[in-house]
Structure 1
Amino acid sequence: MLKSIFQKLLLSKFVRREDGVIAIETMIMLPLMFLTFMALFTTFDAYRQYAMNQKAAYTISDMLSRETMAIDDAYIDGTQMIFEVMTRSRQQSSVRVTVVRFDGEENQMVLEWSESRGGLASRDNASVADWIEMLPQMVDGEEMIVVETWSRYAPAFRIGLGEKDVTNFIFTRPRYAPQIEFDDGQDELNS
């Protein structure tokens, strides 16, 4: 009996003591706070990467829309380098530039030219024919510049997000010239 009273007294003293509570709370909360901060950082970093990719794609599209001279291979190589620099991509990235013309009689898009860098294949007529639903209304013979970008996003921490493909499909009308031509260097060879 005396032993059980003594145990109850010790147990009640132990329950009433408050020293060491902060250390225990810290041990419980610190890992949870750390995981929360890692998840927030990963989410913010993903949104930042998506925004940077979109800004780079719009920059390339705007740059092309202002051209009055023919575009060549070096120019397309430069768009790939601009995309990589602007996005600070640590993974592989690709840029595809396509110029389409609206054929009012056939009511479809016709490929004028398409060039890509970084792994994406160039477009063909079959792949752009159904773009009429994806592009704004155009008059017969009008051209549209389409810039497609692709990169792989790998999060810094594996918390909630896995690796994702970041793609953009940006279209712009030519600004200072009615059409954007591609110079593949063949005219110089045939002369």
Structure 2
Amino acid sequence: MTIPARYCRMFNVPAPLVRFLRAETAAMSIEAAIMLPIMMIMYIGAFSYFDAYRREAVITKATYAIGDLLSREEGTVTAVDFEGLHDLYETITFSEGATRLRFSEIRRVSGSLEVVWSYGTDGSTQLTTATLGSVAAQVPTLLDNERIVVVESFNDYEPAFNVGLFARTQMRFVPTRQRYAARLDYDASVPAPS
């Protein structure tokens, strides 16, 4: 940065200060010592935000994939099947032990919604008709006696670095209509594997 001579004379700037301001020589180590921490902070921040967005995208796609698998099922499903889908979900999302899934079938009867059955993995609470109000706004419009299967995923997320992101539970709600059958048959008599 050079300062025109007329400004130096006009403001009566001392000669040593003018020489300092006009100098274009510098020590690379000092510049690096100033810029390296700034660059590292920017890199860590960018990494943390990219990781959070990547994780959001992965869990969204995995939840839709599990919902799509269930929509193609023509036979009877059991707790063993749901636990297997949960294992598949953890494999897809690379998140061992930090996830829970809840599978539910919802139908419309006489203008109101009702839960036909529900199953939660890893201690996830089951959805009931009484607790359906918390997610009713996310249920698509259904005809009378029409059914949908809902897959809900709950993922505990903790950012690698503290850059303004907070630990939270990422939730996804995916309603899916059956493709080849009118409803998904669930046999609750088969116990979950221990």
TM-score by length of 2: 0.82
Aligned length: 176
Corresponding residue for 1:177? 181
Q: For 2:133 and 2:112, how far apart are their aligned partners in 1?
A: 6
Structure 1 residue 87: deviation in Å?
0.8
Task: Work out the CA distance in 1 between the residues paired with 2:101 and 2:136.
Answer: 21
User: TM-score by structure 1 length?
Assistant: 0.83
Matched with 1:110 is: 114
Q: 1:49 to 1:12 in 2, by over 3 A?
A: closer
Aligned with 1:46 (options 39, 52, 56)? 52
Give the Cα separation in 2 of the matches to 1:14 and 1:26: 23
Match of 1:100 among 102, 106, 115: 106
Q: Which has the higher helix share?
A: 1
Change (3 A) 1:130 1:23: closer
Q: Does 1:160 align with 2:164?
A: yes
Q: Percent identity?
A: 31
- Secondary structure at 2:34 match in 1: helix
How large is the RMSD of aligned CA atoms in angstroms?
2.2
Any residues of structure 2 matched to 1:1-191 within 5 Å, and which?
15=20, 19-89=25-95, 92-103=98-109, 105=110, 107-128=111-132, 131-185=135-189
Instruction: Report if the CA contact (8 A) 2:138-2:173 is conserved.
Output: no
Give a deviation string over 1:55-91, Cα, whole Å, max 9, x none: 1100110011111101101101011101111111155
Structure 1: gaps of 5 or more residues: 1-7, 187-191
Unaligned runs of 5+ residues in structure 2 are: 1-13
